[in-house]
Amino acid sequence: MKRIAVFTSGGDAPGMNAAIRAVVRSGVAHGLEVIGIRSGYQGMIEGDFVPMGPRDVANTLQRGGTILLTARSKEFMTPEGRAKAAENLKEAGIDGVIAIGGNGTYAGAAKLQAEHHIPVVGAPGTIDNDLYGTDYTIGFDTAVNTALDAIDRIRDTAASHSRVFFIEVMGRHAGFIALEVGIAGGAEVVVIPEIPTDAQACAEVINKSAEKGKRSSIVVVAEGGYEGGAEQLARDVRQYSGFEGRVTVLGHIQRGGSPTAKDRVLASRLGAACVEALLSGASGVAIGEVNDEIRLTPFKEAIEKRKDINHKKYELARVLAL
């Protein structure tokens, strides 16, 4: 193996640049040429390739977003699009590819590898932390801390006005961010997709908190945790609670910003591990970290197996809200 490529795909996540940096510098350290593919799978189809060396990734460790850009490609979802991408890779003399992204990125990488026999490995870059085969994904810790900072500020206002705030965080299909932020932010209620939430039960918690002397409450809602989101939950809860509710949707601020130390270290470790995996002959696998050890998981497992929340953490959130 003489030349490898790296790209980012899907939603951006803080720490992606740290992973790219690690791929480039680790690759060069092993005597490889490293090519960056701009704009994800679409750039692969268009042949948007750029050589990358150690200086090209200087001062990127602390930057959010992705210097290689990202895009969603409908064309790559077709056999013809993937064939064009594979042809470009082969013409460029690329012997292996590193994909940084989430579930959709893994699915595309798996098809590219299976249909065109191009060695591909993946690194988990998504704030949702919902990929099987790794304890944490790149960007999750930063997203949690960004959301937590916002919740701490909102709590000041909630306490001053004796109000209930419904704060919506990202997590359409998984409640990892909401659960982590809920515990760290002292939320009275945490609403996640994995465990159905009843508006009346939510209101009862808020009412009981008020009876115990609490002047305000925080309800953290994963965007997919309640049909209609935090706005609808707030409307439904008003029927059973005398408190005036306010809704804040944190949205895409959770994706941006400088990555935390934890995300920088994780991304650096996984990026380097991807290079080592390709050199060892691995392909069609996702690189993760489990119990502080690097683990390789077949794409099929990483895509199809569901990573469940820690139910003990959910119970802890409930107990600590008393």
314 domain residue, yes or no: no
Binding site for Mg(2+), residues? 103
Report how many domains make up the chain: 2
Res 215: pLDDT: 80
Res 304: pLDDT: 95
Cα–Cα dist 249/230, whole Å: 8
Res 67: pLDDT: 98
Binding site for ADP, residues? 21-25, 155, 186-188, 212, 214-216
Q: Flag residues of the chain having pLDDT under 50.
A: none
Tell me the Cα Rg of the chain.
22
Is residue 92 within 8 Å of residue 7, measured between CB atoms? no
Say yes or no: 53 and 173 in one domain: no
Say yes or no: 56 and 200 in one domain: no
Helix or strand run (H / E) with residue 4: strand 3-8
What pLDDT, in 10s, does the model give residues 31-43?
999 999 999 999 9
Say yes or no: 217 and 265 in one domain: no
Task: Name residues whose C-beta falls within 8 Å of residue 259's C-beta, 6 or more positions apart in sequence.
Answer: 14, 15, 17, 18, 62, 64, 139, 141, 142, 267
Which of 128, 141, 236, 263 is flagged as catalytic? 128
316 domain residue, yes or no: no
Task: Name residues whose C-beta falls within 8 Å of residue 92's C-beta, 6 or more positions apart in sequence.
Answer: 3, 5, 35, 47, 49
What pLDDT, in 10s, does the model give residues 76-85?
999 999 999 9
Say yes or no: 175 and 275 in one domain: no
Say yes or no: 102 and 30 in one domain: yes
318 domain residue, yes or no: no
The reply to whether the predicted model has a pTM over 0.85 is yes
315 domain residue, yes or no: no
311 domain residue, yes or no: no
223 domain residue, yes or no: yes
Identify the CATH number of the domain in which residue 194 sits.
3.40.50.460
Binding site, residues? 11, 21-25, 72-73, 102-105, 126-128, 155, 163, 170-172, 186-188, 212, 214-216, 223, 246, 252-255
Say yes or no: 273 and 238 in one domain: no
Say yes or no: 282 and 242 in one domain: no
322 domain residue, yes or no: no
263 in catalytic set: no
Say yes or no: 135 and 20 in one domain: yes
Identify the CATH number of the domain in which residue 12 sits.
3.40.50.450
320 domain residue, yes or no: no
Is residue 146 within 8 Å of residue 253, measured between CB atoms? yes
Say yes or no: 277 and 237 in one domain: no
Report the Cα 98 to chain-centroid distance in Å: 17
Is residue 94 within 8 Å of residue 264, measured between CB atoms? no
Range of the domain at 164: 141-255
Say yes or no: 31 and 118 in one domain: yes
Say yes or no: 206 and 279 in one domain: no
Say yes or no: 245 and 266 in one domain: no
Binding site for ATP, residues? 11, 72-73, 102-105
